Amino acid sequence: MYRYNPLRPHKGRMDEQRPRLLERIKTIVIVLLLIALIGGAVVAVPALQYRSNANDLFVRRMASECGEAVTLAGTLSRTAGTSSYDTLARVRARVYAMELMNSLSVNLNGSSGTIVSSEWFTSLTNQLDNYGTQLITGMSTGDLATTLQTDLSTLHAQLQTLY
């Protein structure tokens, strides 16, 4: 009478087919891994190109906005005038647009996506606030306008070197 003993290896036809089955499984796994690798590469390359193109677009748009802000800041009057309020609001909108694009770049690329340090935007916003306060009180804005123009020009030159 034959009894099954789990400690004793089973002899017979399965032992002969086992090496072939293991080879087939290995081959199938290798083929599937190669397909996954190729598929990952096909997906990753356009994604990397998208990030690079998006970063270039952000830099160019920021440089354009900054150039417009420099032009507008150059037209700010040195004394309180009715057109100064409108021009100041337009400069503020350009600074806000640059800050927004910088934050979009950071959101897309992480901390390495910072195009311009946030201190620039804080400084420019403070200068715009001070200029607005001087306009409201009727005080001379000559020094503030000069500082704003200089800082925007410096930022514009830095942005142009990035592309």
**Would you state the pLDDT for residue 78?**
62
Mean pLDDT over residues 21-25, rounded? 88
Query: Does pLDDT of 13 surpass 60?
Result: no
* Cα→Cα distances 91→49, 94, 120, 125, Å: 33, 5, 14, 10
Question: Taking the mean position of all CA atoms in its chain, how far away is CA 52?
Answer: 9
Q: Is the pTM of this model over 0.75?
A: no
Residue 31, domain member (yes or no) = no
Q: What is the DSSP letter of 140?
A: -
Is residue 34 situated within a structural domain? Answer: no
Does residue 147 register a pLDDT over 60?
Answer: yes
Domain that holds residue 73: 55-162
In this model, does residue 49 exceed pLDDT 90? no
Total number of domains constituting the chain = 1
| Any domain includes 141 | yes
Instruction: Let me know if residue 117 belongs to a domain.
Output: yes
Residue 67 lies in a domain: yes
